[in-house]
Structure formats: structure tokens, C-alpha cells
Amino acid sequence: MEQGSAREGARPAYAPGAFPSAPAEHRMPECRVPEQAARGEHTHCEPSAPRAVQRHSVRGQILDALRAALVDGELVPGQVYSAPALGARFGVSATPVREAMQRLAVEGAVEVVPNRGFRVSERGPRELAELAEVRALIEVPVMLSLARTVPAHRWSGLRPLAEATVTAAAVGDLAAYAESDRAFHRAVLMLSGNEQLVTVADELHRRSQWPLVSGPATRRADLLADASEHTALLDALVSQDLTVVQALVREHFAGADG
């Protein structure tokens, strides 16, 4: 059950001013005219490069917020959203929203609708099942290999990440659960030392979390059951019980296509 769910009556969770200003180290330094200027000597102020960092930070926050809204079902599959309207909702201009939406279009989460905006992609159970199958083909053998070679103390270090999924599931926070779920899987796969594998698996994982065009709402009990599999998996990895590891990982992915 690694997915959000579409629902009507999306709440306006964002408002103007929701995003903090850039950190002090990213702000433009104040340009003060030194004493030499009065004598006609050369003065110099820093270029405006830090402004680009601030804009990138806002775009990144918008992208994160849009991804959370997708998982949480606030952006409904099949509906078209304009960058200006979303910008007003976020309290920013349309530009960072449009840039973030273009990124989501590359990922396949939305489709560009000329002169209108972006339509949230509609997905069915078959696509979700295919994603689960591909993820299992990648992650099951990797986890079995890691179970044979990674010492127990390394697995224990991932316990807080597994517990974070339980915390998010307990309050029914779909967006927080999706992020903590991916963080746990990334941390496990990173132990392989294969950065390309981690990148590919994380992209597939993110796509598996987008809501179906229609389907039952994700229940808190389903999230808790999914989260409990993370802690059970860690226990099996620590004890190097390969049979249990394989069964748990396959069951974990099988739940994603329900």
C-alpha cells in the first residue's frame, strides 16, 4: 500500500507566506559605500548570484509541496491546474510553479495541456502492478545479497527510519509516510554502494506512490500494516533470515498494487 489516494474536496493547505525566506547565508549582502567612494575611488558590491539560490530554494519547496499534494490526493487525477492559480495558492509567482510542474511532467506525474496548464496523470491498477513487479525484480535480489554481507549493527542504524514510517502511518499523514517510506528504502539500497541502482529504484518508488484515478481511500490501518513490514524486515536482515527477507519484501511490493 505505497500510494496516496484521490479524493474530492481538497483542502487549501497552502497560503501566501507559507514558504520561509532564504537562509541568511543565501541573502544578498548589504551594499555599503566605503569611505573611499567619497574620494572617487573604485567601489564594489557583490553580484546578485545569491538571488538565484533563493529562487531555486523556492522552486524546490514548491516541487516538494506539489509532490506531497499528489500523494495526498489534493491534486486530483484527470483535473487540469494552471500555474497562476497554484501560484496564488502557494503565495508565489507562477514561474516557480511552472518550473516545478515541468519537472513533474518529465517524471510522468502530470501532462502539459497547451494554453491551460497541467493535467494530473490518470493511472490504473495495471500500471501500479507493473511498477511493483519491476521494483521487486530490482530490490529483492539486492536485499538478499545485503542480508548475507551487511553486519547487524549497520541494520540497527536504520531503525529510526523504519520507526519514522510507523509514526507517519499512526497519524494517517500520507505525504509524510510517502517520504519516510522512500527514505527507508533508499537507506537500505545505499548499502549496496550502487548509486545508479538507488536513483532508479527511488524514481520507481516515487511513481508507485501517485494516486490511482479511482480507488478506495488509503486507510490508516493499511499504512500501519505497511510500516510494520519495515521493522519486521530489519529484524530479518539483522538475523540474516533470507527466507523471511524474501517473503517480506515480496509481500511489501504486492501490497502496493492493491
Per-residue pLDDT of the chain (258 residues; tens, 9 = 90+): 444 433 334 444 444 344 333 344 433 334 444 444 444 444 343 333 333 334 558 888 999 999 989 888 889 889 999 999 999 998 999 999 999 999 999 988 999 999 899 999 988 888 888 999 999 999 999 999 999 999 999 998 999 999 999 999 999 888 899 999 999 999 999 999 999 999 999 999 998 888 766 555 567 788 899 899 999 999 999 999 999 999 998 888 876 533
Cβ–Cβ under 8 Å, residues 87 and 94? yes
pLDDT, tens only, 142-184 = 999 999 999 999 998 999 999 999 999 999 888 899 999 999 9
Is this structure's pTM higher than 0.85? no
Q: Which amino acid is at 169?
A: A
Residue-by-residue DSSP string for 118-173: EEEPP--HHHHHHHHHHHHHHHHHHHHHHHHHS-HHHHHTTHHHHHHHHHHHHTT-
Tell me the C-alpha distance between 236 and 24, whole Å: 45
- Report the SS3 class of residue 112: strand
Tell me the C-alpha distance between 9 and 106, whole Å: 27
pLDDT, tens only, 13-36 = 444 344 333 344 433 334 444 444
- Report the SS3 class of residue 250: helix
